[in-house]
Amino acid sequence: VTPEGGPLATKRLAYVGTDVSYLTYAARWFPFHDYAADRATADITISVPAGYEVAGSSDEAPQRTAASGGQTRYRFVHRQPALVGNIVAGRYVTRSLRFGSYELQFYVQPGSEARVERYAELMGQAFQFYTTQYGAPAFGTRFVVAQIDNDSLDTYAAPGMEFLAAKFFDPQRAPQEERLQREAAFQWWGHTVGLRSFDDAWLSQGLAEWSAFALREKTLKGGQLESAQRDELERALMFENTSSIARAPSTLDDLSAAYQSIVYYKGAMVFRMLRETIGEEKFNGLLRNFLEQYRGRNTSIEDFERLTSQVAGTNMRYFFARWVEGTGVPEFTVDYQILRTRSGKFRARGTVKQNVENLRLPVDLMLRAEGEGNNKDVTVQLEDKSEDFDFESSGQPLEVVIDPNFKLLRMSEDLRVSVVARRGIELYREGQYAEAQRQLEEALKLDKSNSWIYYHLGLLYLEQQNYQLALDNFQAALDGNMKPSWIEVWARIKRGNAYDAQGFRERAVNEYQKAVQTGITYENAQIVVKQYLGTAYNPRDLAQTQQGPR
C-alpha cells in the first residue's frame, strides 16, 4: 500500500497526505469493470482527525458525526447508481455561495479564497444555462468544488463535484474560464447521462465542449465571438486526419493533444454542424430528449444516432458515417459573375464547389458589398460537389465569403496556415518553446505576411525575455496583414511591455500612447494600457505576462 496511486505514469489520481488527500473514481481504488460505464450505489464513511474537512460526491447531504478520539466521521451515500468513490480531505477553508437555484460549496486551501466568488459565478451561470437548454442535472442543486494539488489532473469532474488543481487558485495565473464551463457540462454529459463504454466518449467530452461553446456563443459579441468561432474550428483541424471521433478513444492517449483536438474540439464542431443540418429547434429538442430518455442510464453513439434520425424525421446515417466515423474535410471554392440590373442594382451569380464525394451540408455564403447595410447572406443546401447561388445588392459587390461564421469543418489556404500556427500556439502554452517556435516558423513559410503568427512569436520571445526578438516580431505583426484587427492595439501594448522590461520607459510610454490612439477595446485593451501608462510592466508578475489574446 502506498500513499498515492492511479493508472497514469505522470499524474496521480489518488493521494493521502498531511495537507490534502483525495480519491477519485479514475484512480480505480474502488472496484469496477468498465471504465466510465460501470455505475454503482455506495455507502462510504471517512474518519479524520480534528481540524480536517471532508467533501465527496453523494446524492444525499453528507452526514457529519463526532467519533472517538476527537475524530470526525463523514458519511457519503449514493442510492442511485453513479461513478462513485470521489472524496477529498484536508485543512480546508470552506465557503458556500448561491447562484440562482444552485448552492456551490468550495473547499480551498488557506490563501486560495480570492478566486472563489468568480468561480462560483462562472459555474453558476453555466449550470443555469445548461439547465435551461437541456433540463435538470442528476446532482440536484448542491455542488462541491474542491482544491487539490498540482500533481493530479488539472480538472476532474465527479458526480456533483469538481476537483481543481491548486494552479486554478493561483492569482498569478489567468483563470481558465472556458475549461470550467466545459467541466460544468460533464454533470449533464457523462454523469446524468452515462456511457455504455469509453468508446462512446464523444457523447460526454464532445457534448461538454459543445455545451461550453454554445454558452460562449450566447454571451460573446463582435470580435470576441468571431475569434471564439475560429478558434474552435482551428483546434478541431489540428490533428483531424489522425483518427476518427469514433476510433480515437481506442487508438489515442486520452490526455494527448491529438485526442483532445479530435474528441473535444472536432466533436463539438460536429454537434454544431448537426444543429445547422437539422435546424436549431429540432437540435435543441434532440438534446433535451436525449437527456430525459437516458437519464440515469448508459448510452452509446448508436443510440444517439437512432434518436437523431427520429427527431430529424430522416435517416441521418450519412451524417454519422462521414463526421463521426470518418476523417477528412472538404475544401470550398467559389466562382461568380457580377451583373448590373436595369434598376441599378448588382447581382452576383455563381457556384460554390467542394472536393468531397456525396457531401450533404447547408453552406452559408455572405456577399460583402460597398456601402453600409449592403452585405447579404444566403444558405445553400449542398447535395454533392456544387450548388448555384444568386445575390442582389444595392452596393458594388466586393467578394463572396464561404462559411463566414466558421460553422463547418473545412480547409482553406488561410486555415491551413492557421492550423500549423495553432499547433505552435498550443505547444507554447504547454511551455514547449523550441517546438512551438519551429511550428510557428513553418507557418510563416506558408504566409510571410501573417500578423497573427508574428504576434505569437513575439509572445514566445517576450516570455523567454528575448526582448529584441519580441520587439521585432511585434513590429512585423504591425507591418503584416493586420488580421485579426485587434493586433493593432495588442502588438503596441506588447512592444511597450518589451521596452518596459528593459527599462526604456519613454519608449514604452510612446507605444502605449499609440495603443490608446487605436481606440480598440478587445480583451479590455484600453483598461490594460491605462494601467501601464500609470505603472510600468513587470516581467516578474505572471498575471501581467498573461494579459491579452494568446
How do strand 93-99 and strand 194-195 relate by DSSP bridges?
Answer: unpaired
Residue 124 lies in a domain: yes
Q: Is 204 in the same domain as 144?
A: no
Residue of higher predicted confidence among 457 and 523: 457
Residue 235 lies in a domain: yes
Mean pLDDT of all residues belonging to the chain: 94
Q: How high is the pLDDT of residue 410?
A: 97
pLDDT at 108 over 90: yes
Residues 6+ apart with CB under 8 A from 144: 55, 56, 57, 104, 105, 107, 160, 161, 162
pLDDT at 1 over 60: no
Residue 253 lies in a domain: yes
At residue 339, the 3 state secondary structure works out as strand
Q: Environment class of residue 325 by beta-carbon count within 10 Å: exposed (0-12), middle (13-18) or buried (19+)?
A: middle
Query: Could you tell me if 163 and 153 are in contact, meaning their C-beta atoms sit under 8 angstroms apart?
Result: yes
pLDDT at 256 over 60: yes
Q: Is 67 in the same domain as 136?
A: yes
Range of the domain at 476: 413-545
Query: Could you tell me if 107 and 94 are in contact, meaning their C-beta atoms sit under 8 angstroms apart?
Result: yes
Angle at 515 between CA 514 and CA 516, to 5 degrees: 90
Q: How high is the pLDDT of residue 526?
A: 94
**What is the CATH classification number for the domain harbouring 153?**
3.30.2010.30
Q: How high is the pLDDT of residue 14?
A: 95
Q: List, in sequence order, every residue forming a beta bridge with 108; answer none if it has no partner.
A: 93
Question: How many structural domains does the chain have?
Answer: 4
State the DSSP H helix or E strand holding residue 384, giving kind and residue range, or none if neither. none
Give the percent of the chain with pLDDT over 70: 99
Which of 292, 410, 391, 404 lies closest to 351, judged by CA?
391
Q: Is 387 in the same domain as 500?
A: no
Q: Is 305 in the same domain as 281?
A: yes
Residue listed under C-alpha cell 516558423: 441
Q: pLDDT tens digits, residue range 292-342?
A: 999 999 999 999 999 999 999 999 999 999 999 999 999 999 999 999 998
Q: pLDDT tens digits, residue range 368-385?
A: 999 999 999 999 999 989
Q: How high is the pLDDT of residue 172?
A: 74
Q: Is 21 in the same domain as 145?
A: yes
Cα separation, 73 vs 53, in Å, equals: 10
Q: Is 372 in the same domain as 460?
A: no
pLDDT at 287 over 70: yes
Q: Is 133 in the same domain as 247?
A: no
Q: Which residue among 288, 323, 358 closes a domain?
A: 323
**What is the CATH classification number for the domain harbouring 477?**
1.25.40.10
Q: Which residue among 119, 152, 185 closes a domain?
A: 185
Cα separation, 443 vs 461, in Å, equals: 17
The number of angstroms, rounded, from the C-alpha of 417 to the middle of its chain's C-alpha atoms is: 21
Cα separation, 108 vs 20, in Å, equals: 10
Q: Is 534 in the same domain as 462?
A: yes
Q: Where are the beta strands (DSSP E) in 67-182?
A: 72-82, 87-90, 93-99, 102-108, 142-147, 155-158, 161-164
Which DSSP category does 24 fall into? -
pLDDT at 223 over 90: no
Q: Is 177 in the same domain as 116?
A: yes
Q: What is the CA radius of gyration of the chain?
A: 26
Residue 408 lies in a domain: no
Q: What are the angstrom distances between the C-alpha of 117 and each of 94, 120, 326?
A: 12, 5, 43
Residues 6+ apart with CB under 8 A from 297: 193, 194
Q: Which three cell numbers stand for residue 498?
A: 518589451
Q: pLDDT tens digits, residue range 159-218?
A: 999 999 999 998 877 788 999 999 999 999 999 999 999 999 999 999 999 999 999 999
pLDDT at 230 over 90: yes
Residue 58 lies in a domain: yes
User: Amino acid identity, residue 57?
Assistant: S
**What is the CATH classification number for the domain harbouring 263?**
1.10.390.10
Q: Is 340 in the same domain as 254?
A: no
Q: pLDDT tens digits, residue range 341-373?
A: 989 899 999 999 999 998 999 999 999 999 999
pLDDT at 475 over 90: yes
Residue 407 lies in a domain: no
Q: Which residue among 300, 323, 346 closes a domain?
A: 323
Q: Is 442 in the same domain as 375?
A: no
Q: Is 46 in the same domain as 170?
A: yes
Furthest CA-CA distance within the chain? 95
Query: Span 75-96, mean pLDDT?
Result: 96
Cα separation, 479 vs 381, in Å, equals: 40
| Global confidence as pTM | 0.88
Neighbouring CB atoms inside 10 A of 384's CB total 11
Q: pLDDT tens digits, residue range 388-432?
A: 999 999 999 999 999 999 999 999 998 999 999 988 988 887 778
Residue 449 lies in a domain: yes
Q: How high is the pLDDT of residue 367?
A: 96
Residue 550 lies in a domain: no
Q: How high is the pLDDT of residue 3?
A: 64
How do strand 161-164 and strand 142-147 relate by DSSP bridges?
Answer: parallel
Cα separation, 131 vs 264, in Å, equals: 21
Which of 364, 368, 388 lies closest to 378, judged by CA?
364
At residue 11, the 3 state secondary structure works out as coil
Q: pLDDT tens digits, residue range 264-283?
A: 999 999 999 999 999 999 99
